[in-house]
A and B are shown apart, each in its own frame.
Chain A
Amino acid sequence: MTALQDRAGTKATDRTKAKKISPWLVVVAGAIIVVALTYTLPPFRTYQLATVGAYLCVTAGLTVLTGLNGQLSLGHGALMATGAYTLALWQNKFNLLPVGILVAVLVTTAVGAVIGLAAARLRGPYLAGLTLAVAVVVPSITSTFDETFNSDQGLSVMLNPPPESMTNEQWQAWLCWGGALVTVLVLALLTRGRFGRDMKAVRDDETAARLAGISVARTQVAAFVVSAACAGLAGALFAVIAQSVSPGAFPLTLSLFLLMAIVIGGLGRLSGALIGAVLLVALPAVAHEIGEAAGSQRLEGNLALTFFGVVLVVVMLAAPGGLASLRVPFTKSIPFKKKGH
């Protein structure tokens, strides 16, 4: 086990040494690729591209929280719902999208701060259980305050038509990827510096981190707040893409999908968050086609569900470091020996 950790450790340092490419360059390159794609892809693919961008916002934030800071949140689906509903309420009142997105992020950040304050005092399964409860409670909130949230039907989102020079899909893709690239840039800059080191120190050994002068609670709350802001942005972008919000769009399975997305790409890696975001769009699309080919409606959604579950279990058992770590297979046999607890 120690051998595995050592190897992983040295690998990690190698990687950071090798990766001296500036995040600014990556983001500029990403923007160019996205713009090029929006002019070449057919409308439906462009729409899917926009969805990948929206997912990337939340997976990037979540992988920083779970991978670098070790806090497992199942409540990010609910945080996305917070952002989406905030945007819907704002748009239907003021119809001013840029401010609306900002407000959605701010409100979600505030909610995330509340959850984060509680989360900083919790560990492992307790935190997972609490955030799971947050995710399950969303429909209950929308039904209880149905005058504001309109219960299960949800709200439609009032939007101005896109600029005349571009199609709706292009506009959506630009908007979502604008958000995603800003998110990735901010997260990359944040995690490269002191904040990133603090988060990893807290994840690996709280006592040692505290001895080194790091405020454990503050770091954990900050990590949660940052990733909540990302989830709020993603929720707002989803509300824009779908032009509606409803509790059915943010079920518990969404939070589990997000978890799958960051685990499969390798926890804590922004590149892994991108792989995960692509899979979140691609796999259900494939499952949809298989379901249509088989002529079974039951198959459609559930095939993706099953597949995500299998992927999550297999990756956790075979390669806890995610797909990128598969280059060193069979680093350990699995004797049935439990560590003392």
Chain B
Amino acid sequence: MDRFVFLTFDGLSRGAVYAAFALALVLIWRAARIVNFAQGAMAVATAYVGYSVADATGSYWLGFLVAVVAGLLLGAGVERVVMRFVDHSSPLNGVVVALGLVLIIQGVLGMIYGNEFRPAEAPLSRDAFEIGGIALLSRYDLFVFGAVGAVVVLLTLLFTRTPTGLRMRAAAFAPDVSRLLGVPVGGMLTLGWALAAGVGSLAGMLVIPTELGLHPTAMDIVFISAFTAAVLGGLDSPIGAVLGGLLVGLLLSYISGYLGATVAPMAVLALLVIVLLSRPDGLFARSKARTA
């Protein structure tokens, strides 16, 4: 029972990170109808930048901030320089270009930093508090919850309460009409990518200290988990992504805890297969008209 409680909290903490990462995928999907397969690599790149700054200045928090800002810039840059010029007549094109970016980013990171795991320290203690002899949460877990919660609240406020958010939604929903009405559709798209990549970088900074450390391919499994979370939530729904993330986190925590950590990736694959085959529009989808 103690173990179950511990695994539950651990799973929620992991799940919060997957939720943030899935949210980043959903943001880009909603804005541009592209699943950003380069999200993981982009997050790793900014995490390297963040940790380099942290090592140079001795301040983790400055590094954290720099990583998120680097994420915003990288996202905007990727949209402005590459993704804007992708021919969207086939959905495969965007995917292939994103995968090309993965290779570029991993190659460049490997050239600069090498292909070894670099230790990445957590800024706060990862020892869990105990209440009544049961290990519950660590300071770091609380930080993760706080950071992801803040992101979710801020994004919700942005999209529902601000003119910019309204423009972003309009630009994604009806680009031609929005352009006629004076919305800078291209700019909104760039902003969407920037926000998504910023959130992705934040998730990367949160998850890397809990895994093996910094490595050019460190986010591959995280990406798969977050993709599964986003698909669970329907790929189109921010709330679904958050719930999906928490569910995937819990599942992975139980599986790693009871069956061993090496089984976890297989469990993600199994979950993804089950969801895609039984509820391809996500667990929370309303039924839609048939398209074919």
What secondary structure prevails in chain B residues at the interface with A?
A: helix
A128 is contacted by which of B37, B108, B264, B269 (Cβ under 8 Å)? B37
Q: Is the CB of B88 within 8 A of A338?
A: yes
Contact residues in B for A70 (Cβ distance below 8 Å): 90, 92
Produce 1/0 per residue, B26-40, CB < 8 A to A: 000000011101000
- A144-B263 CB under 8 A given contacts A129-B35, A301-B115, A305-B107: yes
Question: Which residues in chain B, 256-271, are within 8 Å of chain A measured between CB atoms?
Answer: 260, 262-266, 268-269
B93 → chain A, closest Cβ, in Å? Answer: 6
Question: Which residues in chain B, 76-106, are within 8 Å of chain A measured between CB atoms?
Answer: 82, 84-93, 95-97, 99-106
Q: Is the CB of A1 within 8 A of B272?
A: no
Q: Is the CB of B224 within 8 A of A132?
A: yes
A298 is contacted by which of B101, B103, B110 (Cβ under 8 Å)? B110
Stretch at the interface among B46-54, B60-68, B273-281: B273-281
Contact residues in A for B108 (Cβ distance below 8 Å): 302, 306
Stretch at the interface among A95-103, A135-143, A224-232: A135-143
Stretch at the interface among A21-29, A179-187, A312-320: A312-320
Q: Is the CB of B96 within 8 A of A133?
A: no
A199 → chain B, closest Cβ, in Å? Answer: 15
Contact residues in B for A130 (Cβ distance below 8 Å): 272-273, 276
A118 is contacted by which of B92, B265, B273, B292 (Cβ under 8 Å)? B273
Whether B181 is near chain A, meaning CB under 8 Å from some CB there, is: no
Produce 1/0 per residue, B202-240, CB < 8 A to A: 000000000000000100110110011001000000000
Q: Is the CB of A126 within 8 A of B276?
A: yes
What is the interface size of chain A, counting residues whose CB is below 8 A from a CB of the partner? 59
A341 to B171, CA, bound (A): 12
Whether B111 is near chain A, meaning CB under 8 Å from some CB there, is: yes
Q: Which of A121, A308, A317 has most chain B Cβ within 10 Å?
A: A317
Whether A122 is near chain B, meaning CB under 8 Å from some CB there, is: yes
Q: Is the CB of B111 within 8 A of A1?
A: no
- A137-B35 CB under 8 A given contacts A118-B277, A301-B115: no
Whether A339 is near chain B, meaning CB under 8 Å from some CB there, is: yes
Contact residues in A for B185 (Cβ distance below 8 Å): 336, 338
Whether B175 is near chain A, meaning CB under 8 Å from some CB there, is: yes
A259 is contacted by which of B87, B96, B104, B292 (Cβ under 8 Å)? B96
Q: Is the CB of B276 within 8 A of A305?
A: no
Whether B149 is near chain A, meaning CB under 8 Å from some CB there, is: no
Q: Is the CB of B102 within 8 A of A313?
A: no
- A303-B111 CB under 8 A given contacts A128-B95, A317-B82: yes
Q: Is the CB of B276 within 8 A of A118?
A: yes
Residues of A near any B CB (own CB < 8 A): 1, 66, 70, 72, 74, 118, 121-126, 128-130, 132-134, 136-137, 139-141, 143-144, 206-207, 210, 251-253, 256, 259-260, 263, 298-299, 301-313, 316-317, 320, 334, 336, 338-341
